[in-house]
Structure 1
Amino acid sequence: MSAVDYQIDGQAYEGWYLPAAGRTNAPLVIICHAWGGLGANEKQKAEIISKEFGYNAFALDVYGKGKRGTTQAENEGLMYPLVGNRAELQKRLAGGIAAAKAHTGATKTAAIGFCFGGLCVLDMARAGMDVLGVGSFHGLFRPAENIPQPRIKAKVLIEHGWNDPMATPDDVLAIAREFAGSDWQLHAHGLATHAFTTVGATGDATQYHADTDRRSFAYLKTFLAEVFA
């Protein structure tokens, strides 16, 4: 896995790239990080995408090179300004997609994301970015105020923990209405809370759940095979 420096509007960003294991001309899966910034969890998922799924994996950096959070306050300070300014977030996402495609030369691209990254990939779909499909894992569902009536072209997979306090049953119904008319699917996992794919997460609201992690990635593997067919 190698670091990749890229720029958007003169600002430096540092992503991570892992080529497809044993394949050439493989499709590309972009990975969007959780609220703390690009770190160990995204790199672990990149290993799965590359070695088990056989796709190129490129983890984006949405915050900027060297900008990472280690506490709740730091994470909130990095995430909330972008959640509140979706046009800026979408600009960074589009720039990251362009950098990843330029670095890999891939012609077929999908994106997955976790927590804040789940919101990021849903915004990629909302904004009609250059991705064939997106997968949101324990993502935030807050709509993008700058896209009041999105026209979703990408296929959409949502893997959701039913006990996630950051995405309530009302939020699930709301995103189903928002994405009506598009090719979306949602799997709700009854024993999962937030962060169910984040190895090491503990707590009442954010907790790793091995069975849900395994099942959700089995769904993802099938989804990506369909998207890239």
Structure 2
Amino acid sequence: MKQLLTIALILMASYTFAQLKPVAYKDGTQNLKGFSIAPSKKNLKKAGILILPAWKGIDKHSKIVAEDLSKLGYFAFIADIYGEGNYPTDNSSAGQKAGYYKKNVNEYQQRIKLAMQELIKAGADPAKIAVIGYCFGGTGALEAARMNFPVQGVVSFHGGLSRDATRTIQPIQPKVLVLHGADDPSVPAAQVLSFQQEMRDAKADWQMVYYANAVHAFTEPEAGNDNSKGAAYNELAAKRSWEHMKLFLNELFAQ
């Protein structure tokens, strides 16, 4: 009995009870409000994951992802891309606001950089950062790779893959993992092929995993389960993509 108590105390000592904390920061005069969480177990590597939410901004799903990453031993920070007073209220406004940042990519990149700084301030090692994103956020994760932000790797979950054809393709240093619904109508086959050629031209270390019977937003339970709508939750694809991400992160931070 005493031995079991000792083991229990050791296990408890290795864990903290991490909680999501709101973090106020700024882009010029624009107020931003992200969320930070520390590892819920000791992590000497101090690796950090920046989370870029889907098109409606910080939501329940992104918070669950942050908490799950904390349980895996990572620092996590959820970026606020839109800023206070600019949050979408429905699909139409979300499409307009996300579209703005896709066109004004420099502003999107700036918001990602600022959030990354907050992740580092929270305790993450600046040499051990990865960026993951969902849908619109997946597009942002790829932008972090295209601009060679100081990160080890990026992960896009059912994200947009397009790039302005006038932009110069530069060698990409961060490793790239794209987790993609095989039946996603939001990403035409031509866009997929163009992206893959971009990765080859950039001499990137890239991977792309397809999930059968999965459309857009396959990680989002609130998307429903009707594939005919073009966006739907797929439990199997969600679980598989999470495991693929974990494997990728383990590789990034192995040393």
Aligned partner of 1:211 in structure 2 is 236
- Residues 30-49 of structure 1 aligned to structure 2 (within 5 Å): 30-49=50-69
Alignment CA distance shift 1:140-1:115 (3 Å): same
Aligned partner of 1:109 in structure 2 is 129
Aligned partner of 1:197 in structure 2 is 219
Q: Offset at 1:65? A: 2.5
1:60 to 54, 74, 79: 79
TM-score w.r.t. the length of structure 1 is: 0.95
Aligned partner of 1:82 in structure 2 is 101
Determine the C-alpha separation between the residues in 2 that align with 1:112 and 1:132.
Answer: 11
Alignment CA distance shift 1:188-1:24 (3 Å): closer
- Give, as a single letter, the amino acid of the residue that structure 2 aligns with 1:218: E
Which of the two has higher C-alpha Rg? 2
- Give, as a single letter, the amino acid of the residue that structure 2 aligns with 1:149: I
Is 1:157–1:185's contact at 8 Å kept on the other side of the alignment? yes
Is 1:28–1:57's contact at 8 Å kept on the other side of the alignment? yes
2:205 to 179, 183, 189: 183
Q: Offset at 1:105? A: 4.1
Aligned partner of 2:180 in structure 1 is 160
Calculate percent identity across the aligned residue pairs: 32
Q: Offset at 1:8? A: 1.9
**2:114 alignment partner, SS class:** helix
Using the TM superposition, name which of 90-99 and 54-63 deviates more.
90-99
Aligned partner of 1:169 in structure 2 is 189
Aligned partner of 1:123 in structure 2 is 143
Determine the C-alpha separation between the residues in 2 that align with 1:99 and 1:144.
Answer: 29
Is 2:215–2:231's contact at 8 Å kept on the other side of the alignment? yes
Cα RMSD of the aligned pairs, angstroms, is 1.4
Structure 1 unaligned regions, length at least 5: none
Q: Offset at 1:59? A: 0.6
**1:135 alignment partner, SS class:** strand
Runs in 1 of length 4+ with deviation above 4 angstroms?
none
Tell me, yes or no, if structure 1 residue 223 matches structure 2 residue 245: no
Using the TM superposition, name which of 61-70 and 13-22 deviates more.
61-70
Aligned partner of 1:100 in structure 2 is 119
Alignment CA distance shift 1:65-1:23 (3 Å): farther
**2:221 alignment partner, SS class:** coil
Aligned residues: 228
Determine the C-alpha separation between the residues in 2 that align with 1:110 and 1:6.
Answer: 20
For residues 197-221 of structure 1, give each alpha carbon's deviation from its aligned partner in whole angstroms, at most 9, with x where no partner exists.
Answer: 0112124211000000000000000
Alignment CA distance shift 1:13-1:144 (3 Å): farther
Structure 2 unaligned regions, length at least 5: 1-19
Is 1:156–1:185's contact at 8 Å kept on the other side of the alignment? yes
Determine the C-alpha separation between the residues in 2 that align with 1:133 and 1:217.
Answer: 15
Is 1:87–1:146's contact at 8 Å kept on the other side of the alignment? no
Determine the C-alpha separation between the residues in 2 that align with 1:82 and 1:100.
Answer: 21
